[in-house]
Structure 1
Amino acid sequence: MRNAPIQRILNKLKRHSFYLGGDQPHVAWVERIRSVFGALIGLMLVLTIAKYLGELSGLDEWLMASLGASALLVFALPQSPMAQPWAVIAGNTLSALVGITVIHLSNGPLLAMPLATSLSILGMFILRCLHPPAAAVAMIVVLGHVMHYRYAFFPVMVDSALLVMAGAVYSNLTGKRYPNRPN
């Protein structure tokens, strides 16, 4: 009888635990370490190559800030449709192109940021390349006032392709199939 109030409180807490991540699936520690180590190796490799390519071509921009979010999808959720090569590469590249175009056509960031982001989402729907970090690429382009279309190809497209390649090699070496292959 004394435990009834405590049990009610515990039941209420359990019912609302999704607010604190209770709806997240359990992930084994081996998989957590595999994902974290993959993201570390993959990002180090991509950033090293991109920095070298930037120095080789004399460009200061060799990194896109949303690459970390793309790495989470590629290394931790390699089976997700949003982590597949087309989604990562096309989604990021398209969003950069949209963001740059919006900057050229818009007068201020208060309109340009939501316009670039929403139009990049529309473009990703049309091209079937939904990749959540790509929506951030559009905003990053506007915030950084990137005016050159070259940025969409280097670093955005090149970094995305390098990340996908690193993800494919690492995942397949560690027993995860990536990219998804249709049956």
Structure 2
Amino acid sequence: MQRYAFYFGGDQPPVAMLERARSGFGAFIGLMLVLTTAKYLGELGGIDEWLMASLGASALLVFALPGSSMAQPWAVIAGNTLSALIGICIVHAVGEPLIAIPLAASLSILGMFFLRCLHPPAAAVSLIVVLGHVLHFRYAFFPVMVDSILLVLARAAYSNLTGKRYPNRPS
């Protein structure tokens, strides 16, 4: 049975219950702050789109794995924004969804490699843009970039409260 345990999460490192609770509570508080602020900013600007759908996946990285290079501010903000911009360009350039969808994701991944801002949820941002036929470049800045900045700021504030260092500075 142990031979096959890794198929059912057996390869996951053990995490103390306090750390699990801290991560879950932090993600809740962080997302509430981001969503409330983004909704308010959207209402001020008269913009309906104030939320990006992949924010939950970004919150998982930022709050549960804050030491990961993929959860650092540059990766979160630049990765999400770049992927949204690429997705919007693909929507304008490619009319066939069967080509546009994989092209947007693959170019986003390539772009994140070049800019050294790998953030897995960002690849989903490019897909969301293509699937939603988002045509306005404004979407890349609000909500995508603004939500990403707010999430990083919420994590930084939460780190002050919990003593968990964020962002991580290379030694």
What's the Cα RMSD here?
0.5
Q: Deviations over 1:128-179 (max 9, x none)?
A: 0000000000000001100000000000000000000001110232011000
Q: Is residue 103 of structure 1 aligned with residue 103 of structure 2?
A: no
Identity of matched residues, % = 78
Alignment of structure 1 residues 44-123 onto 2, 5 Å = 44-123=32-111
Structure 2, unaligned runs of 5 or more: none
Q: 1:145 aligns with which of 123, 133, 144?
A: 133
Instruction: Return the TM-score normalized by structure 1.
Output: 0.92
Tell me the SS of whatever aligns to 1:16: helix
Contact 1:75 1:171 in 2 (8 A): no
Structure 1, unaligned runs of 5 or more: 1-12
1:8 corresponds to which residue? none
Q: Is residue 159 of structure 1 aligned with residue 134 of structure 2?
A: no
Aligned-partner residue type, residue 169 of structure 2: R
Structure 1 stretches of 4+ with a deviation exceeding 6 A read none
d(CA) in 2 for partners of 1:27, 1:153: 35
Tell me the SS of whatever aligns to 1:181: coil
1:124 corresponds to which residue? 112
